[in-house]
Amino acid sequence: MIALEKVNKIFRLPHDRRVTLRQRFVSLLKKNTYEELYALRNINLKVNEGEFLGIIGKNGAGKSTLLKIIAGVLEPNSGTVSVNGNIAPFLELGVGFQWELTVKDNIFFYGALLGMSRREIEQKYDWIIDYSGLERFVDAKLKNLSSGMQVRLGFSITVGVESPILLVDEVLAVGDIDFQQKCYNTFENFKKNGRTILFVSHDLNAVEKFCDRVILLENGELKFEGKSDDVLSRYKSPVNLND
Amino acid sequence: MTKSASLYTESRKKEILSGRKNYLFLTLVMAITDFKIKYDNSILGYLWSLLKPLLMFGTLYLVFSVFVRWEVENYRLYLLLGIILWNFLSEVTLNSMVLLESKASILKKIYFPRWIIVIASSLTSLLTLLLNICVFFIFFIFSSAHLQTSALFLIIYLAELYIFVVGLALLLCSLYPKFRDIHHIWEVFVQLGFWATPIIYPISIVPQKYHTLIFLNPAARIIQGCRQALIGPGKEFLGLTNHIIILAVALCLFAVGWAMFSKLSRSFAEEL
């Protein structure tokens, strides 16, 4: 279960970012000005076990920030976040990929990064290879694989983690039709198995198809929360947004 | 920061304790991965990497055994050991910052304790150090030195060096995202330290009044200790007082480094 209470996240965007001692010294006498950006404002959210929650909103609404805060990558400025269970982030496929290493080494590295133990990876290894369809390329260096193969590998490892909570952020946009179909089938299975999924997408059809509940973010605020068709219809007709 | 922000940390801590216990495995995998990349997954890759320290050793040996002559027994071993140990210090402290930078994209997307990066990088260098010490022993066999029982002290000194160096690396890495040029500044300090430590010269050429200053640096004590344990002569650095001083400094530094790193690493995802 995931629970967020009064979560605020403020990004400070300095007009002139100072990241070295030199820059700090040179501009000692100048005042550092910055813009404050409320990425998330007073978010209260509960996600129950086995729920498929859709998160929609325009660009810059705070969707990705929300996922990152739940994943623990970002810390909120105030508020509490509690998460029960291991999280598999689908935030970006293959972020930890080591291009100079083989597919096999990468499965171990990425798997460990996602929180798997040695035994879990060894047990899942054949399944991951099979699922990604890369049997012939196990000993090839990752950099020599096509980008499609790399995406498939990243996806297969993340699916293989079997963590109870999944955070999915627009990963489906990268693959072809077949791959997307495979992803959707996988998500169907997850749903059946009672895993919790947080799904960020601009693909409203997919959101409508999968999600039990949808939240709509706007400028960092949680605008609407409810049944998927309910929220989606409000999102599609801009007039209703300002009720 | 409000009060509830600290509550958040509490809940996060709890979750880590219950949710993920595979951090040791992740640390090892990361260290091995770095090691493989560093040496291109081959023994020849390691041998190639020996070229730099050996070339440095060769040059210094030429200069200080032909042009200038120190009164040091087994000067070859004396110099080589000093270079190997100092290289470890320089490699861990500098590489950990580079590694932090190169892992930034992962830090922004996946949560794991940030210290794993520093520890993994130090383990990679530790492996290199152990291999280098094997090379040292090859030189040792072909020298006039004899192995003494005091050689076992080497293990203790290496452990002390490791704590000291990791403490330094944690301290530097915690500051790195805010002050990127600390990498260059530290490079200069490492260079300075190289000459301020009796690595190529014997301590006997330094006037007595500077000895206290030189031996404020635990690395100098460790290097001298290792030499006396393996090659001799002298015993003054093998005593308990020396270990107490080294450990006191190393542990203090480690504690400070750890505390700063835990505090500052929380915002790494935003700053890197």
Instruction: Summarize pLDDT for A142-170 with one digit per residue, the tens.
Output: 999 988 888 888 888 888 887 788 888 87
* The pLDDT of residue B10: 41
Which domains are seen in chain A, by residue range?
A: 47-241 (3.40.50.300)
| Dist CA B258 CA A97 (whole Å) | 28
Q: Which of A139-148, A166-175, B60-69, B256-265 has the lowest mean pLDDT?
A: A166-175
- Residue A82: Cβ-neighbour burial (10 angstroms; 0-12, 13-18, 19+): middle
Question: Model confidence over A32-43: pLDDT tens digits?
Answer: 788 888 899 999
Stretch (H or E) spanning A218 = strand A213-218
Pick B8's closest partner by Cβ from A11, A68, A76. A76
Chain A residue whose CA is closest to B5: A78
- Flag whether residue B260 sits within 8 Å of chain A, measured between CB atoms: no
Give the whole-number percent of chain B exceeding pLDDT 70: 92
Q: Which of A33-37, A105-109, B126-130, B240-244 has the lowest mean pLDDT?
A: A33-37
Residue A98: pLDDT above 70? yes
Question: Model confidence over B115-159: pLDDT tens digits?
Answer: 999 999 999 999 999 999 999 999 999 988 888 888 899 999 999
CA trace torsion A117, A118, A122, A123 (10° rounding):
-40
Rounded to 5°, the CA angle A105-B173-B134 comes to: 55
| Dist CA A37 CA A42 (whole Å) | 14
Q: Going by DSSP bridges, is the β-strand pair A52-57/A196-200 parallel, antiparallel, or unpaired?
A: parallel
* The pLDDT of residue A171: 63
Domain map (residue ranges) of chain B: 21-271
- Residue A132: Cβ-neighbour burial (10 angstroms; 0-12, 13-18, 19+): buried
Question: Model confidence over A187-209: pLDDT tens digits?
Answer: 888 888 888 889 888 888 888 88
Residue B48: pLDDT above 90? no
For residues A94 and B109, is the Cβ–Cβ distance under 8 A? no
For residues A154 and A127, is the Cβ–Cβ distance under 8 A? no
Residue A100: pLDDT above 60? yes
The overall longest dimension of chain B from CA atoms, in Å, is 68
Helix segments in chain B, DSSP class H: 3-19, 23-38, 43-62, 75-102, 104-107, 115-141, 153-175, 182-196, 211-214, 218-230, 240-264, 268-271
Q: Residue A29: phi, psi to the nearest 5?
A: -85, -10
| Dist CA A21 CA A56 (whole Å) | 41
pLDDT band at A238 (very low <50, low <70, confident <90, very high): low
Pick A21's closest partner by Cβ from B105, B179, B270. B179
For residues A71 and A167, is the Cβ–Cβ distance under 8 A? yes
Q: Which residues of A touch B35 (CB under 8 A)?
A: none
- Flag whether residue B138 sits within 8 Å of chain A, measured between CB atoms: no
Question: Which B-chain residues 178-207 have CB contacts (< 8 A) with chain A?
Answer: 178-182, 185
Q: Which residues of A touch B270 (CB under 8 A)?
A: 11, 74
- Residue written as token pair 């959101």: A207
pLDDT band at B2 (very low <50, low <70, confident <90, very high): very low
Helix B240-264 crosses helix B218-230 at what angle (to 10 degrees)?
140
Q: How far is A87 from chain B (nearest CA, A)?
A: 9
Mutate to test the interface with A, among B33, B97, B183 (most CBs of A within 10 A): B33
Stretch (H or E) spanning A155 = helix A147-160
Three-state DSSP state, A139: coil
Rounded to an integer, the average pLDDT of B192-217 is 92
